[in-house]
Amino acid sequence: MKAICFYFQIHQPFRLKHYRFFDIGNDHYYYDDFADDDIITRIAQRSYLPANQMLLDMIKENGKKFKVAFSISGTALEQLEQYVPEFIDSMKELAATGCVEFLSETYAHSLSSLYDPDEFYAQVKAHDEKIFQLFGQRPKVFRNTELIYDDDIASMVYSMGFKAAITADAKHVLGWRSPNFLYSSASAPKLKLMLKNGKLSDDIAFRFSNPEWASYPLTADKYINWINELPQEEQLVNLFMNYDTFGELQPRESGIFEFMKALPRFAAENDIQFWTPSEVVSKFKPVAELAVPYPMSWTDEARDTSAWLGNTLQQEAVRKLYSIGERVRLCTDRRIKQDWNYLQGSDHFFYMSTKHNDDGSVHSHYSPYDSPYTAFTNYMNVLSDFMTRVEEQYPASIDNEELNSLLLTIRNQEQEIEKLHREVEMMRNNIVKDTTGDFPIDEEPAPEPIPEKKEEKPEPKKPAAKKPAAKKPAAKKPAAAKPAAKKPAAKKPAAKKPTTKK
């Protein structure tokens, strides 16, 4: 018995518009909506939608024996929701069959795993939340941006409670070992590792329609035979590829859809099953530990991170970006948060690659820029503007720690104020019940201004909403004010002390 595990990646970045240095400080909208719309609509029509239909047919035909997994980045989901909502519906339909598993990843398809652990945790959480919200699944298996993986990432992934991670089969890591087994991480032995079978995956993704390829034309029969002929003990074949393989990289005319549809029949004849990553992880036992001291990925000839971090331009851009990570997380402005996500997309750095030859042509194929230098210039102009906006929120003269404690103080005070308000209200109600009092009114406004001043600094939303509620009874029954007013006024200094000490 052997098992095939299919996993498809869907990702689209938010491309930057032509952003000139004159725009820095003046224009805070960075995206080329037209290009995004154009590209995702085209790919969806040519590839994603027909491919979804194909999978749906296959699942129906094969009585749920055919299973696949998806990894869809948050930015791609946002674009699909906006431009191709029918795709989301079709995905929901697929999810409802129970034969589709969704994988976890970073929301922005970012490189945060290499630079900013806090950001990494936050993004994975955000992504999984989005998946749950759309498809009702909590991802259990993790796959990082472009399968970037090393031991440090493994520890982080494991600490977030994932059972397994998906990664690439870099030759310099695997050596003589075969990717057709389940491995476990050296740094977090309980985290299992599924490795891409590069040869068989790329046969479909890149070579399928190449008439110069020795094995052209590839038929389902032939393909399943290859898998069947693998040594008996190699039971797991992980086929990882971009989803746009179907219809875009391999055009419809090449017969790629028919090839896929025929796979389950030949697989069944040879007792080969289709499993989701979660099934694989629960049914197989890891054969060995895999130590990966330096990050590997599934991109470029080198299978490392040089596609995004290979030259000084890329390193500088990434460094500058993550230098403000902590600051951005302190911000509450929604647009800043959103831009922060979009600017992290690994694609922006991919475009800055100065590699030549085969790798270079892949980079320039995807890049909207005519040279890596233009890509860098444009990105840095946008980033400059973004950094000024973050700066405007909190001046750079205060260091992060100080800012953090100030924000904490404010938040604590907020809670304190809220608590006191509740107390005031409760007491007022009590007083109203007991007496109809004839206390003087002149002290009534005194308690109000004090909390009001405090409330202006922090996020005004919560207290602002509560205030009128607290005010009303006081205004209605001015007589009740005095005894109540005394309390918060007296408590204020006491309440302040412990919080500011922090």
- Least distance to another protein from the beta carbon of 373, Å? 5
In the complex, minimum distance from the CB of residue 314 to another protein, in angstroms, rounded to a whole number = 9
Q: What angle do CA 33, 34, 40 make, to 5 degrees?
A: 85
Long-range contacts for 313-317 (Cβ within 8 Å, ≥24 apart)? Answer: 313/352, 313/354, 313/372, 313/373, 313/376, 314/349, 314/352, 314/353, 317/348, 317/349, 317/352, 317/376, 317/379, 317/380, 317/383
User: Residue 105 catalytic?
Assistant: no
Asked if 306 interacts with another protein (CB under 8 A), we say: no
Q: Where are the beta strands (DSSP E) in 162-276?
A: 164-167, 182-185, 192-195, 236-242, 246-247, 250-251, 272-274
Contact stretch for another protein (CB under 8 A) within 100-108, 177-185, 366-374, 402-410? 366-374
What tokens does 255 get? Answer: 């017969």
Q: Compose the 383-412 pattern: x for residues touching another protein by CB under 8 A, - for all others.
A: -x----------------------------
Q: 272, 224 in Cβ contact below 8 A?
A: yes
| CA dist 219 → 47, 59, 102, 225 (Å) | 20, 20, 28, 10
Rounded least distance, CB 298 to another protein, Å: 26
| C-alpha dihedral sign at 428, 431, 437, 438 | negative
**Nearest approach, Cβ of residue 321 and another protein (Å):** 12
The residue among 149 and 369 lying less far from another protein, judged by its C-beta, is: 369
Binding mask 367-386 for another protein (x = CB under 8 A): ---xx-xx-xxx-xx--x--
If binding is defined by CB under 8 A, does position 311 make contact with another protein? yes
Largest CA distance in the chain: 100
Question: Which position among 38, 93, 316, 391 is part of the footprint of another protein (CB under 8 A)?
Answer: 316
Q: In terms of CB distance, is 387 or 420 closer to another protein?
A: 387
Residue 112 Cβ, how far from another protein at the closest point, in Å?
20
Which H, E and C letters describe 403-426, residue by residue? Answer: HHHHHHHHHHHHHHHHHHHHHHHH
Q: Measuring CA to CA, which residue among 434, 457, 433, 445 is closest to residue 481?
A: 445
User: Which is nearer to another protein, 201 or 353 (by Cβ)?
Assistant: 353
Residue 239: closest CA among 213, 216, 267:
267
Our CB check for another protein shows the closer of 225 and 312 to be: 312
Q: What would the two tokens of residue 234 be?
A: 């190699």
- Does position 53 bind another protein by CB under 8 A? no
Residue from 215, 225, 270, 312 that binds another protein (CB under 8 A)? Answer: 312
Region of 197-205, 219-227, 254-262, 308-316 interacting with another protein (CB under 8 A): 308-316
Q: Which two tokens stand for residue 286?
A: 């890891």
78, 101, 119, 146: the catalytic one is 146
Residue placing its CB nearer to another protein in the complex, 286 or 310: 310
Interstrand relation of 164-167 and 141-143 (parallel, antiparallel or unpaired): parallel
Q: Is 163 helix (H, G, I), strand (E, B) or coil?
A: coil
Does residue 429 belong to the site contacting another protein (CB under 8 A)? no
Q: Residue 70: enclosing H or E segment and its boundaries?
A: strand 68-72
What count of other Cβ atoms lies within 10 Å of the Cβ of residue 302?
16
Scanning residues 9 to 48, which ones bind another protein (CB under 8 A)? 20-22, 24
CA distance 7 to 9: 7
Q: Which one of the spans 222-230, 278-286, 305-313, 393-401 is the region binding another protein (CB under 8 A)?
A: 305-313
- CB of residue 335 vs another protein: minimum separation in angstroms? 24
- In the complex with another protein, which residue's Cβ is closer, 73 or 367? 367
List all residues 6 or more positions away from 27 whose beta carbon is below 8 Å from its beta carbon: 19, 385
CB of 37 to another protein, least distance (A): 25
Tell me which of 45, 53, 354, 499 binds another protein, using CB under 8 A: 354
Q: Under the criterion CB under 8 A, does residue 5 sit at the interface with another protein?
A: no
Count of residues binding another protein (CB under 8 A)?
22
Task: Figure out which of the listed residues 16, 317, 328, 431 binds another protein, where binding follows CB under 8 A.
Answer: 317
Smallest distance, Å, CB 363 to another protein?
A: 13
Q: How many CB atoms lie within 10 A of CB 238?
A: 26
Provide the 3-class DSSP secondary structure of residue 369.
coil
Q: Which is nearer to another protein, 208 or 369 (CB)?
A: 369
356 vs 486 by CB, closer to another protein: 356
Query: Based on CB atoms, which residue is closest to another protein, 239 or 313?
Result: 313
* Residue numbers 160-179 binding another protein by CB under 8 A: none
Any contact of residue 213 with another protein (CB under 8 A)? no
Which residues form the interface with another protein (CB under 8 A)? 20-22, 24, 311-313, 315-317, 354, 356, 370-371, 373-374, 376-378, 380-381, 384
**Catalytic site residues?**
146
